[in-house]
Amino acid sequence: MALSDTALRVLFDGGRHALRLATPPKHLPAAACNAVLRSLLKGGYVEECAAPFEYIGLGWRQQDGAWIALRVTDAGLLAIGAAPSEAPAGAHSALPTASAFREGAAGAELRGRHL
């Protein structure tokens, strides 16, 4: 899959972030921004994760009141010519994925608590 200049920029900037979090492009209209991010998700270049509080501004959507961010995957790093080992040690595993967050939220609701 050929990546656009904008998609490559998102991957490059995210690959340099300490937690490999992608920054949604601010110069695009919302629909175009979402199209770029969804194409990266579909291609496996990024994955959803719970946005850490200190990086809440990098969230691209909300789910059940929590912000979801995008983390550059090893495939995303390879797409920009960076080796996955060049990322900070443990950075990609420091955050739970969005599916893990959803499972935790569902479990808390079953116990009568809300996150």
Residue 85, pLDDT score: 67
Of 74, 37, 40, 69, the closest CA to residue 54 belongs to 69
Residue 5 has, within 13 A of its CA and on its CB side, a CA count of 2
**Domain annotation for the chain: domains and CATH numbers:** 5-110 (1.10.10)
pLDDT exceeds 90 at position 96: no
**Alpha carbon separation from 58 to 7, 13, 98, 107 (Å, rounded):** 16, 12, 14, 26
Q: Cα–Cα–Cα angle for 14, 17, 23, nearest 5°? A: 40
User: Model-level pTM?
Assistant: 0.72
Q: Cα–Cα–Cα angle for 87, 44, 115, nearest 5°? A: 80
The string of pLDDT tens digits covering residues 1-60 is 689 999 999 999 999 999 999 998 888 898 998 899 999 999 999 999 999 999 998 988
